[in-house]
Each structure stands twice: as structure tokens, then as C-alpha cells.
Structure 1
Amino acid sequence: MLQFCVIFGQQKVIVIDPGHGGKDSGVIGINGVQEKDVVLNVAKEILRLNKTILNNEFDIYLTRYKDTLISLSDRSRLAKSIQADVFVSLHCNASQSDSRGMEVYVHNAKESETRIKESIAVGLSVLEESSLKLGFKKRGIQFANFQVLRDDIPFCPSILIEMGFVTNTDEADYFLKPKNIRATALAILMGLFNCLNIGL
């Protein structure tokens, strides 16, 4: 699967999509933490770490830079218009049970088989790095027909990361600490780096 990580060419363009925003808070954690805030904080940190640690290795764009609600179609339209190499949507998970861990969703369209394999490779790299560096349980790759994945898969590898369960006490509290936001952002960024730069 790793061979699908090699994308030759110039600087890779990555779209980071912090889910929800504005009036759409997403999931509200048991400690009051809001999904829309967690994902935006992680996205901004990925942007900062790409500059400070990776010396702008990637050309990264966010679908939103503040607490605003962007339509799902506009999120995908951005990725298409700038010819993104990878689209990464960030979310937090919720469960009525005491579920924990990180999982990655990719689209299940049969007509985009190569892009789906590339998406799986990117997702596995992010999961591996996050499990290794954060100690989060790996819940694996899941398949779904989410609109942002469906709209982006025709032209670039696309993943949706459920970073953890804000309905789980430990993981909800984890996302309240700035150092943990940084750690999560770094794990995701290095997962992308490991995949997109292997063999280069």
C-alpha cells in the first residue's frame, strides 16, 4: 500500500478542512468542548507546524480560518480549484458508549479505485503516526459516503479523520490542553509527510 504514497512532482498542495463552524458546533463533549473549536485549533496548528518545523514543505490551505460555517460543496470546490494533492477533513467522534480512539474514513466509490487506494495509504500513515506518538487506539480505516469525500475523490486522495471521542472523558479532556492540540496536529502532519515524501 505504501507505493501509493509516492506522489512525484513539485510542492504538494494539501487542503485541511476543519469540520463544522459557526452555528454548527458539531459534537459537544462531556466537558463542554466543542468539535468545531477542536478541529479549527488542530488545523491552525498544522498550518503553523508546517511553517516552523517543516519549513513550508507543503502548500497548505484551510477551508476556514475562523469560526464560520462553510458549505460542504464550497469546501470541496476549494480543493478542486487549487488542484489539491490531498484533502483532509478533521472531525471529533461521539458515541453513547465509552468508545475511544482515532479512525479514518475514505470514500467507497468503485469508480475511483486508484484514488481510494491512495486515500487508504494516507489514512494508514496518519493512524500509524498518531498511534505511535499520541498513544491513541487505532480504530482503522472505515468506508463512508460523506459528501466531502464523495465530492473530492474524483480528483484527489481524500480522508476524513475522526481524531477522538469527545464523549469519552479522557479524550475530551485531552483536547482541552494546547500542548495536546499541538501533539495531535504534529502527528497528523508527520503522517502526511511520511506518506507523501516516502522514497523522495
Structure 2
Amino acid sequence: MSKSSTLPLAALAPRRPTRRYLLLKGIGFIAIHAAAWPDRAAHAAGILGVRVWPSQAYTRVTLELEQRLVVQHQLLESPLRLVIDLQDLQIDNALRQLPSIIPSDDPWIAQLRVGQFQPRIVRLVFDLRQSVRVEIFESLPVGPYQRRWMIDLHPEREPDALQALLNRRFAARSEEPGLEQLIEDLAKRDADRKDGAARTRRPAPSPAIAEGSQAVGTTSGSANPASGMADPAAGPKSPPTGSTTTAGQTTRLASSSVSNLAARIIAIDAGHGGEDPGAIGPSGLKEKDVVLDVARKLAERLAGDQGLRPALIRESDYFVPLGQRVRKARALKADLMLSVHADAFTEPRARGASAFVLAEGAASSASARYLAQKENAADELGGVDLRRRDKDATRILLELSTRTQIRESSDLASLLLGQLGRIGQLHKSKVERAGFAVLRAPDVPSVLVETAFISNPEEEQRLADPGYRDQLADALHLGIKQYLVANATIGAKPR
């Protein structure tokens, strides 16, 4: 007979929960509900920063934050409004201040209102001045930035770049011929171009010789073959006495040699912009600001030459994707394109100017390949919808640049180096080649110029000097005109 398995009556009575039991049960409850519900603490993190980049091309509003967001938007009419809902977010001081940094003269946004639409939804309401095309996308962390949401307001219909250039030109210079006369001139020049297509093109002059001037040296010190860098121990090159390009020389060349080159369009691309500052010097000088100023100065000089029409790819502080820069130059039917930059390197002693053209194959040096990779990453920093960028890049790569374009680009680059060597040291005395995305227009001779090393304290100081920027603009101006004169038998593009 087995023993009874019954328990004492006291053992069946309910036990008083211990402190450990309650603690473990509480932790389990929190864990289960945290897994089942969204993280309600996430929206308390707030916005890290808000920025606005207005321009006549488009306006960008940037929201930088440390967590993912669900963003929904809709366009409403009567009146025109863009409504954006930011989910899992609570309004904070940064968002409250956003309306105050919208410029009163923004071409797209009349007013912005921000409010807590629901407990976990912040609503932005943009009152619009005109119909817009909206692009909203997320940019993953890169460089100094965390996650960013880009809100881009574009014109509903992109303006014709060439027509806009001509309209501005006519408005600014009343002495210009009317549109009908210009069309006639272009048609005649196109006919002349076809008649002279079989002529032999005159070779470009040596980059060391400026028209009507003496021979000019290029570098001081010897190159370091191991690093591909000019000897950093050598001081800045002193321009030869009397060799600096003067305003008088520029004026004489313009009036005597370029007057018959009507309807030549020069696309000037100031690198970086907007969210992408480019390289930053030791004292905080930003590449995007320097090169925009140089580009504007160059445009002013070219605009003073009869028949030459400069076109700035970006006219103020906003970002233009690399592929769009190429497309704009082609839409303008530009006769050449110059992309202006200011280099940076890990070694602060690096100095001097360089000129680059597109490589058919491998880069001409390791430093050229490194620079191209760095410049081609600008889209990530500047903020580009990756879904569109991939399609654009594929389309551009399919249009492989011709050898003629590269040869003409090299001629232009050599002349630009010759003029830059007159006002300062050259980093490389020969034209470099690499796979720069901004140089991939197959029918536009294109050159990327690094005016100096902004990472070098001495060169940063020079780049900060408006007088030196004037010299850079003068040098680029004269180099471009030398190229046009040397290739005068090649007619302007039919437009």
C-alpha cells in the first residue's frame, strides 16, 4: 500500500508573492508590451537640426534627426498647400523655429505653419506661391550628418535652360540684338560650321605661352613621384616679373580676338553647395563659398566679352546633383564646361592648382583617382534621391564620351594651367585624367579645375582674399578665351 501523496492544508493556501517574483513579473510585462507596441519614447528624441536652402531653381528644407520617421504628404488646392505629416514625433524648439528661417522672398513658399496635429504626429503646412513638383526622400547618415529628410520644391515644369539664359541676357543688356536676329545669326553660324567641317583645326598654343606675352614657368620645386605631389617643402611660386595677367591684356584679347565668336555658351559649375560644403579649411573657410564667388567673378568677365554667354550651373548656395550638372550643360548646348573646385588633402603641406579631364580608362595617377572618388561622392553628402540617381547615372554612362571631347578638354585644360601658373604654384604641371562624374558630357569639352588646396593654411588664406579670387577669375577667363581663339574654325553649336 502506497503512502498518501496529499499535502498539508497549509501548503494549498495561496502564497504571498515575494519581492523577487513581483519584480520578474513586472519586467516580463514591460518586455512583452514593448515588443507588441511601437517605441513610444522614440518621438521624444526630437529633431537635431533644420535647414532651408532657397533658390530660383528649387527650395530644399532639410530635417536632420536621429531616428527613422514615417513621412506622408499631399498637395491641396484652393489655396495651394503642401501638407506633410511626420509620424512618431513631437514638436520641439527646432521645428517651432523652422517657419522663421523661410525667406520672405522664397519663390515657392509663401508661409509655413507647424503644429502638433495629433499626439504622435507633427504636421507641416506649406502655403505655396505657385504649383510645385515635390520630391521627399530620406538620406542615410553620411559624413557629419545623421539621418536627413529632404523636402524639395521644384517648379511644376522645369524651365528651358537655354531660353532662360537668353532671356536673362536680353534683360541685362539692352544693346544685344533681338531674339529674331540671334536666331538668324545662329542659323548662319550653323551653316558656316557645316561648310568648314572638313577644315583642319589649328592646334592649341602651348600652355606656357600667353598671347602676346613671354614664356611662363609652371612649377617650383620637383615633383615627388611616390606621392604624386609637388614638393611641399618648396615655398609658393613667385610669378615671373611682369607675367601676371592684367585687365588691359584681357580687354585687348576680348576686343581683338573674340569679337567674332558670337553665341558661344560657357557653362560654369561651382562645385558642391547647400548641404555639401565641400572641403573645409583649417580656419573654417568652405569650398562651396569660395568656388561660387570665383564662378560669379568669371561669369562677370565672360559676360563683358561680345558674343560670349556664361551660364552658372548653380547661382547661389544650393546643391545640384552631379548628373543634373551634366544635363544642364547639355541642355544649354554649352560650347564648353568648367567645374571650379578647391582641393583638400590629409597632408596640410599640399599646395597648388591642378586641372583634370575625363579618363577613357584608368586614372592618370593614384591622387587623381582618389580625388575623383571623393568628388563623385558629393551626391551622398549633398542629398540625392538614390532611386533617381541610379537611373540618371546609368543613362549618362551609356553615353560614353568621345575621344574628340577628351582631346578638346585636354587642350582647354592645358591653357587653363598655363594661366593659373602665372599667378601661383601648380600642383601638377600636366593635365590629369580620372573618372569625374561631372565631366561625362559626351558632346561638351569639360574641365575640372582645383584652384588651390584649401586644406593648406597659406592657400586657404589666399582663397579668402577677394583680390586673389579676382586673379583666379582673370586667369580662367584668359585661358578660356585662348581656347576659343585657337579653335575659332569650329563653329558654335546649332541652337
1:13-162 residue pairs with structure 2 within 5 A?
A: 13-52=265-304, 55-97=305-347, 98-109=349-360, 112-132=402-422, 134-139=423-428, 140-150=430-440, 152=441, 154-162=442-450
Deviation per residue, 1:12-62 (Å, 9 max, x gap): 21100001000100000112110000110000000112234xx34421100
Tell me which of 203, 218, 242 is aligned to 1:3. Answer: 203
**C-alpha distance in structure 2 between counterparts of 1:48 and 1:155, whole Å:** 25
How far residue 91 of structure 1 moved from its aligned partner, in angstroms, is 0.7
Does the 8 Å contact 2:262/2:308 carry over to 1? no
Alignment partner of 2:280: what SS?
coil
Counterpart of 1:43, as a letter, is: A
Structure 1 residues 9 and 46: alpha-carbon distance in aligned structure 2, compared to 1, 3 A threshold? closer
Tell me which residue corresponds to 2:470.
Answer: 182
**C-alpha distance in structure 2 between counterparts of 1:9 and 1:164, whole Å:** 31
How far residue 67 of structure 1 moved from its aligned partner, in angstroms, is 0.3
**C-alpha distance in structure 1 between counterparts of 2:261 and 2:466, whole Å:** 34
Root-mean-square deviation (CA), in Å? 2.0
**C-alpha distance in structure 1 between counterparts of 2:288 and 2:462, whole Å:** 15
Structure 1 residues 184 and 2: alpha-carbon distance in aligned structure 2, compared to 1, 3 A threshold? farther
Does the 8 Å contact 2:267/2:310 carry over to 1? yes
Deviation per residue, 1:143-169 (Å, 9 max, x gap): 11111112x1x1111111111100111
Larger radius of gyration, structure 1 or 2? 2
How far residue 136 of structure 1 moved from its aligned partner, in angstroms, is 2.3
How far residue 102 of structure 1 moved from its aligned partner, in angstroms, is 0.7
**C-alpha distance in structure 1 between counterparts of 2:487 and 2:406, whole Å:** 21
**C-alpha distance in structure 1 between counterparts of 2:303 and 2:335, whole Å:** 18
Structure 1 residues 155 and 59: alpha-carbon distance in aligned structure 2, compared to 1, 3 A threshold? same
- Indicate the structure whose relative CO is greater, using CA pairs within 8 Å and at least 6 residues apart: 1
Determine which structure has the larger helix proportion and give its number. Answer: 1
Does the 8 Å contact 2:270/2:291 carry over to 1? yes
**C-alpha distance in structure 1 between counterparts of 2:474 and 2:308, whole Å:** 13
**C-alpha distance in structure 1 between counterparts of 2:322 and 2:283, whole Å:** 28
TM-score (norm 1): 0.89
Does the 8 Å contact 2:357/2:432 carry over to 1? yes
Structure 1 residues 31 and 57: alpha-carbon distance in aligned structure 2, compared to 1, 3 A threshold? farther
**C-alpha distance in structure 1 between counterparts of 2:329 and 2:484, whole Å:** 17
Structure 1 residues 88 and 2: alpha-carbon distance in aligned structure 2, compared to 1, 3 A threshold? farther
Structure 1: where are the runs of 5+ without partners?
Answer: none
Does the 8 Å contact 2:261/2:308 carry over to 1? no
How far residue 11 of structure 1 moved from its aligned partner, in angstroms, is 2.8
Alignment partner of 1:115: what SS?
helix
Counterpart of 1:61, as a letter, is: A
**C-alpha distance in structure 2 between counterparts of 1:88 and 1:199, whole Å:** 17
**C-alpha distance in structure 1 between counterparts of 2:415 and 2:202, whole Å:** 9
Identity, in percent, stands at 31
Tell me which residue corresponds to 2:397.
Answer: none
Deviates more, 1:55-64 or 1:93-102: 55-64
Pairing 1:194–2:482 present: yes
TM-score (norm 2): 0.37
Alignment partner of 2:324: what SS?
helix
Does the 8 Å contact 1:126/1:187 carry over to 2? yes
Q: Number of matched residues? A: 193
**C-alpha distance in structure 2 between counterparts of 1:107 and 1:123, whole Å:** 11
Structure 1 residues 78 and 179: alpha-carbon distance in aligned structure 2, compared to 1, 3 A threshold? same
Structure 2: where are the runs of 5+ without partners?
Answer: 1-200, 206-259, 362-400, 489-495
